[in-house]
Amino acid sequence: MEQHRQWVLQHQEKLERQKQQAAALPPLTETELKALAEEARQYIPERVRYYAPKVGVNYGSITIRSQKARWGSCSGKGNLSFNCLLMLTPPEVIDSVVVHELCHRKEMNHSAAFYVHVLRVFPEYRTWRRWLKDNGPVLLLRGGK
């Protein structure tokens, strides 16, 4: 535990900064969340349709919700779910999450083989994943619930 002390302290400080950033912004209202969800229902399926052939997969239903901790998921049956808060991110972040979830149709894990598929289709994936890791927690905190 002692050898990881510095890492733990750095992450605690980062989390505290993110909480302060979120507190400085008003939480999203139910009306705003509904508007984001509606926007996502129009935009995200279009991106899924664009990327599915590039990944070389099919998919089931697409669901949009406001979630506390996840940006997207893919069920074993190929049903996709996306967080409406993605609409607060740059389009490249949305695309990175779409490609990530579609690649789970090939690999239902986060193995090296999985990331080979992701990076083949979306070479900038790591850049936008970093953006989401750095900025996403504040957005999730604004979403509340």
Per residue in 61-98, pLDDT (tens digit) is: 999 999 888 999 999 999 999 999 999 999 999 999 99
Distance of CA 26 to the CA centre of its chain: 21
Token readout for 77 is 């049956």
Sheet holding 80-83, edge to edge: 62-65, 80-83, 72-74
Residues belonging to the chain: 145
Which range among 12-21, 64-73, 86-95, 118-127 shows the weakest confidence by mean pLDDT? 12-21
Please give the class, per CATH, of domain 29-137.
alpha beta
DSSP state of 63: E
Distance CA 105, CA 56 (A): 9
pTM for the predicted model, two decimal places: 0.85
Distance CA 143, CA 145 (A): 7
Helices (H), the chain: 5-24, 30-55, 91-103, 112-121, 125-143
Please say whether the beta carbons of 89 and 129 come within 8 A.
Answer: no
Distance CA 63, CA 72 (A): 10
Task: Quick: pLDDT tens for 43-66.
Answer: 999 999 999 999 999 999 999 999
The structural domains of the chain, with segments of one domain joined by +, span: 29-137
